[in-house]
Each structure stands twice: as structure tokens, then as C-alpha cells.
Amino acid sequence: MNWVKVPARYLTLTSILLLATATLLLAWPRLQASYRYLPVEIAIQRYFSSREIPSNRLPVLIRFTSEAIAHQDHYRYHDGLSLLHLLRAQDLNTPALERLDEYLAAAAAAVESLRRAPAQPVLWLRLANVRWILHEESESILAPWKMSIFTGRTDTTLFAQRIEIGLAHREYLDEEALAMLRDQVLLAWKIQPGSLVGVLSRRDRSLEVTRSLIEHTDPVALADMEAWLAKLR
């Protein structure tokens, strides 16, 4: 019997070709998702610089993000979808009857993203804020509020909103939550005193809540806060 001898280099090339083809097939959905999400990513980056996305672009970007998720169910795309729904809910050009659905969609997308990647302090706080806007039960608001602090206690960009939510829900805070709010207030006072005073002037101008939090742990900081707020009166 005559056996056809195939040179070893051809076998190697064939193996490489098959491996490359398999790798491409596996990566194809991810590449399609990345391509579809690229304009969304650019728009979100510009938003964080200009604080604006044109109203007529939001539905288009939401559709692109949904298509990206259909190709690859990645937490980053759900995060983007949550932000876009929130921006559309807050857009003055969005019909009033559609805003509730947009807020609900923002919360649902946030939950999906957090289910896949829990270590997202910004997104936990966004979820708490959306639930606050929707007038959900305090437990539903404070659970993600706590998670935002657990996953990013020293994130300076989140201090003000965390303190505002905490002060607004003071009567529902347990001992753990009170300790967390106290910690955020003192951190903000050290790093962003002006921002903290702005929140206090809106939510606790008499410092009744803040006094109960820190009068025994940091009376000097409390006295300085009182002096600063007195200048604003």
C-alpha cells in the first residue's frame, strides 16, 4: 500500500490555520459587540467632559447598546445602558409619560451589570439614586447605598451624593449605616469641605443630624462646620 507522505510543515500550517479559525469564531461576537458599542463609548466619554448628549442621539445610543449586549452579554454594556436610560429620563425633551419607564430601565440595567460585576461603587450609588427618585422603600435605597461605600469607600467623586442620600434617610439608618455615614462626612470634611457644606446647607442646615453623628468623635470638625455654615446665613 502506498501512503501519501504529507510534509510536516503542511501539517503545522494546517493546525495553525484551524486554530486561528476557531479563535476568530470564538472572538467574533466580542468583536461585533465592541464595534457596535464604540459610538456609545465615545458619546459617554464626551458626556463626562461636556455633560451633554443631544436628545435625539439617546434613543440611537440605547439601541446600539442593546445590540452590543445581544452579541456579548457584558457588564460594561449594561452599565452604559443604565446611564443612557437615566440620561433620557432626566432629559427635558423626553415626553413625561416615558420618563418613568426610562428610570425603571436604568435601574434594571444597573442590576444586571452589578449581578455580573459587583465591585462598581458608582453604579451602586446610581441604583440607590434612581430608586430614591422612584420613591421606593428605604431598604431598597439603602442596600445599594451601603454597597457603594463597601466597594469604594474613599471615592471622592461619590462623597456628596452618598451623604445627601444618607441624610435624607437618617431615620431609617441602622448602627452600621450610621457609622458609614459618619465616616463619609468626616472624609468629605477633610478632602472636600466646600462640597460637604453645600450638602449640609440643603439637607442639615441646623446640623442636627451631623451633630448627633460626630459631636463625640470629632467635636473640632463639628465646630468648624458650624462656623462655616454660620457665614452662609
CA distance 86 to 79: 11
For the chain, the domains span: 27-117, 150-233
Task: Give the closest residue to 169 by CA, choosing from 188, 150, 199, 142.
Answer: 142
List per-residue pLDDT tens for the chain, 233 residues long: 444 554 665 556 666 655 555 555 555 567 787 888 999 999 999 998 888 899 999 999 999 999 999 999 999 999 999 999 999 999 999 999 999 999 999 999 999 999 999 999 999 999 999 999 999 999 999 999 999 999 999 999 999 999 999 999 999 999 999 999 999 999 999 999 999 999 999 999 999 999 999 999 999 999 999 999 988 87
Do you know the residue count of the chain? Answer: 233
Angle at 93 between CA 90 and CA 94, to 5 degrees: 60
Instruction: At 225, list the grid cell.
Output: 462646620
**Global pTM value:** 0.86
Alpha-helical (H) ranges within the chain are: 8-50, 58-71, 75-90, 96-116, 121-133, 138-151, 159-168, 175-191, 193-203, 208-214, 219-232
